[in-house]
Amino acid sequence: TENGLAVAKKEYPSDVALSLLTTKEPNVFLSENFDGQDRAYVIVPIVPDTVFALSVWPRNTPFLDTGVSTRLSALLPIVMWLASLIVAFWALNRLAINHIRKLGRQMRRFALNRTLPRGTLGPSVPTELVEMESAFVGMAESILRDEATLEDSLRQKNILLKEVHHRVKNNLQLISSIMNMQIRQAKSEDARFVLRRLQDRILSLATVHKNLYQNDDLVRVNASELLNEIVGQMLSVGLASGSGVQVEQSFEPIKIDADDAAPLTLLVSEALTNALKYVSTVEHGKGFISLKLIQTGPEQAMIEVRNTIGNPEEVKSGTGLGSRLILAFTRQLNGQVEVETTDGVYQIRVNFHVPTDSKMIYDY
């Protein structure tokens, strides 16, 4: 009713109690209201034994003039049922669905940008929905606190890791400086050569740690930047000015795991040392060294070192340690090595796996 309960009670049938009309079937009848006016009544059950819809029309309503008994019996229950459904849907939409949608929007907004609701659902919201909103806000605040704690822990961990890499790099450079002093005091060329090779390997490791602590991502490192720096260091020492050796470098920016950075740089260091040893015997202006790092597949890469070969007899025979180290570093990279010599050009090629995702780190 829109007119208030007091007005509605006057329209009740005066000779029939409402409790007697709460049957399971729709009912249509004529009676007088409490003011003695003729009325047509229709009562339809909405929820059995719980909710009923009562419709009242004046007796002189044009719709009731002809065939009241048949028309009312056939049409009015259907009209009342449809009207009741509309009212029920409107009430459900106003009291529940709209608030549930608003609560859903709040949850989606929090999931996207971690924004808490600015206000509550409203004073007319059912208690159950208010409790749901309170539980959601409490859960969201707890998530924000936990995420802030995790971010602080991660930041502290990254700072500590960078400090570790920085100190390791400093210690390796200190060892390199001590070895440099020992090289100057070495009495034989063989001893100086061995110490320089060890120094190159130590500097390669120092470069790896330097790139790790300078990089924001402590898990993966750019292989291009790493190899450019290491190759530059070795060429500045191993190639004299005016040697006439042409050097080509082409390194694609491939991200590799920190665990793979050390074997990759040491492998390139050993291969480049071997190339410098043989290219030194080539006639002036005809020697070249080529280094390439390319992506060959979705999770595959290849490192290639090529150099000209002069007179092998002029090269002092080594111990074979470099070749064994190259094989060992290749196994660490889960790769395969190919060695080929054609037309005075020595070529070493290593195909290795580059996982897209970082390796799982277990905290025991």
pLDDT bin (cut points 50, 70, 90) of residue 364 is very low
Give CA–CA dist 333/223, Å, rounded.
13
pLDDT bin (cut points 50, 70, 90) of residue 313 is low
Structural domain boundaries in the chain: 5-112, 137-218, 219-364
Give CA–CA dist 134/112, Å, rounded.
20
Looking at residue 292, its pLDDT comes to 92
pLDDT tens digits, residue range 95-122?
777 778 888 888 888 888 888 887 777 6
Report the topology of domain 219-364.
Heat Shock Protein 90 (3.30.565)
Cβ-based neighbours of 127, under 8 Å, separated by 6 or more? none
Looking at residue 270, its pLDDT comes to 85
Residue 151 has pLDDT above 80, yes or no: yes
Residue 299 has pLDDT above 80, yes or no: yes
Contacts of residues 68-74 at CB distance under 8 Å and 24 or more positions apart, as own/partner, are: 68/30, 68/40, 72/28, 72/40, 72/42, 73/28
